[in-house]
């Protein structure tokens, strides 16, 4: 087998910004053949298919019809987070392997259902947490796991987007749907990145969460306001007693030097780690201002190839799927890919706990919600039952 026959489910903003280059302009394009596309939105489906020559009889509104009619090896599910589970499960039950972008899903029940289906069908489920391929995080993981810094005590991470990311009045819109920032939060869109990166570095599991949310800027937007959070601080307690604060938001002025301003500090028993994640060292000055460009994530090379860890992360997962289907994936690697931490289960657990914290919280000032503490063990048992929860608590 030389190429994966890939079905793409959803061709909205994440495909526009990242995956179109993965499929057709990256170092991994030679192993991918996009043979079918499913998206209920005519505009997005036809934009993608017209651009890349997908035949009319391989364009579907309904992913179920695509799964029934197209000859596929794997699918990539690029739907909104809360819609990841159903098409992923349907694909695995049809003998296909699956790639989804982060997060795996937005609830622990959905992630557990996806993991359970992978176990029952023997299919490969993979998740693109692309920050895991950032060379700075990979180096930090290697050094932390060597014992160089001792064990984590306290960490502060932040990831703040420009307002244009969440502003439905911005022209052109950043997201495919104008109500994205109402249906999502900085926790589901940004905290998920930082929580996953921190856990990937430390290999620590979370045990409790509490969040604070600010809803002060987005409701003031005009002509269309957003009833959602501008900024959230998620406090996570880990199994070793360490505490992390992950501060995320999407209301920086659009004049900010980078679309996403982000950094982190990890204080450990034997040292500390500092990340200036938004400073890869490439600034441009032009009529619109001074901006940081991140070629580490997505780099347009002069021959048309797009490189960077935004391509490498999903590309390597596609390589794993290809090797798995060809019988070349080792048992050790198969076991590693099936680990709940690798599949982002605990990342979803943190975000689900943070959302529950805010839902159970109280208003302490104008537009400010102080969340209630959430025991993640109790949350798991309540949602999955004692027996199934034990799989993730052992």
* Burial degree of 121 (CB within 10 A; 0-12, 13-18, 19+): middle
> Long-range contacts for 359-368 (Cβ within 8 Å, ≥24 apart)?
361/211, 361/212, 361/213, 366/216, 367/214, 367/215, 367/216, 367/219, 368/212, 368/213, 368/214, 368/215, 368/216
Task: Give the largest Cα separation in the chain, rounded.
Answer: 60
Please state whether 137 falls in left (phi above 0), alpha (psi between -120 and 50) or beta: alpha
Contact assessment for residue 166 and residue 209, using Cβ atoms and an 8 Å cutoff = no
- Could you tell me the sign of the dihedral formed by the alpha carbons of 203, 205, 208, 214, in that order? positive
99 φ, ψ (degrees, to nearest 5): -125, 130
What pLDDT does residue 1 have? 62
Integer Cα distance of 350 and 248 in angstroms: 14
d(CA 355, CA 392): 20
Alpha-carbon distance 311 to 305, whole Å? 10
User: Shortest CA distance to 151 belongs to which of 243, 235, 234, 233?
Assistant: 243
First to last CA, the chain: 38
Per-residue tens of pLDDT for the chain, all 394 residues: 689 999 999 999 899 999 999 999 999 999 999 999 999 999 999 999 999 999 999 999 999 999 999 999 999 999 999 999 999 999 999 999 999 999 999 999 999 999 999 999 999 999 999 999 999 999 999 999 999 999 999 999 999 999 999 999 999 888 757 788 888 999 999 999 999 999 999 999 999 999 999 999 999 999 999 999 999 999 999 999 999 999 999 999 999 999 999 999 999 999 999 998 988 888 999 998 899 999 999 999 999 999 999 999 999 999 999 999 999 999 999 999 999 999 999 999 999 999 999 999 999 999 999 999 999 999 999 999 999 999 999 7
Domains of the chain in start order, with CATH, are 4-131+303-328 (3.40.50.720), 135-296+345-393 (3.30.360.10)
> Which of 385, 379, 388 lies closest to 354 in space, CA to CA?
379
Looking at residue 176, what is its pLDDT? 59
């Amino acid at each position: 087998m030389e190429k994966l026959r890939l079905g793409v489910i959803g061709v909205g903003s994440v495909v526009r910004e990242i995956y179109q280059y993965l499929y057709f302009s990256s170092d991994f394009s030679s192993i991918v053949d996009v043979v079918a596309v499913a998206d209920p939105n005519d505009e997005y489906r036809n934009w993608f298919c017209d651009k890349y020559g997908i035949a009319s009889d391989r364009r579907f509104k309904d992913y179920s019809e695509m799964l029934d009619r197209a000859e596929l090896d794997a699918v990539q599910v690029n739907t909104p987070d809360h819609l990841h589970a159903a098409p992923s499960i349907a694909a695995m039950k049809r003998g296909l392997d699956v790639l989804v972008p982060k997060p795996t899903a937005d609830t622990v029940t959905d992630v557990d259902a996806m993991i359970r289906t992978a176990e029952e069908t023997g299919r490969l489920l993979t998740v693109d947490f692309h920050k895991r391929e950032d060379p700075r995080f990979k180096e930090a993981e290697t050094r932390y796991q060597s014992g160089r810094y001792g064990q984590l005590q306290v960490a502060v991470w932040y990831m703040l987007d420009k307002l244009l990311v969440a502003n439905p009045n911005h022209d052109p819109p950043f997201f495919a749907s104008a109500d994205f920032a109402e249906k999502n939060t900085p926790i589901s869109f940004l905290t998920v990145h930082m929580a996953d990166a921190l856990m990937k570095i430390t290999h620590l599991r979370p045990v409790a969460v509490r969040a604070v949310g600010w809803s002060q800027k987005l409701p003031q937007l005009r002509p269309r306001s957003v009833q959602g959070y501008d900024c959230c601080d998620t406090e996570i307690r880990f199994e070793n007693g360490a505490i992390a604060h992950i501060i995320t938001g999407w209301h920086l002025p659009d004049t900010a030097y980078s679309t996403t301003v982000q950094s982190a500090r990890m204080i450990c028993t034997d040292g500390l780690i500092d990340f200036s994640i938004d400073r890869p060292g490439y600034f441009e000055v032009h009529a619109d201002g001074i901006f940081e460009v991140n070629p580490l994530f997505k780099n347009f090379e002069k021959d048309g190839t797009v490189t960077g860890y935004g391509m490498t992360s999903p590309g390597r997962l596609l390589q794993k799927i290809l090797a798995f289907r060809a019988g070349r994936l080792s048992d050790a690697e198969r076991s590693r890919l099936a680990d709940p931490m690798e599949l982002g289960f605990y990342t979803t657990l943190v975000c689900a706990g943070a959302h529950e914290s805010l839902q159970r919280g109280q208003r302490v000032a104008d537009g400010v919600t102080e969340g209630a503490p959430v025991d993640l063990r109790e949350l798991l048992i309540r949602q999955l039952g004692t027996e199934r929860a034990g799989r993730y608590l052992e």
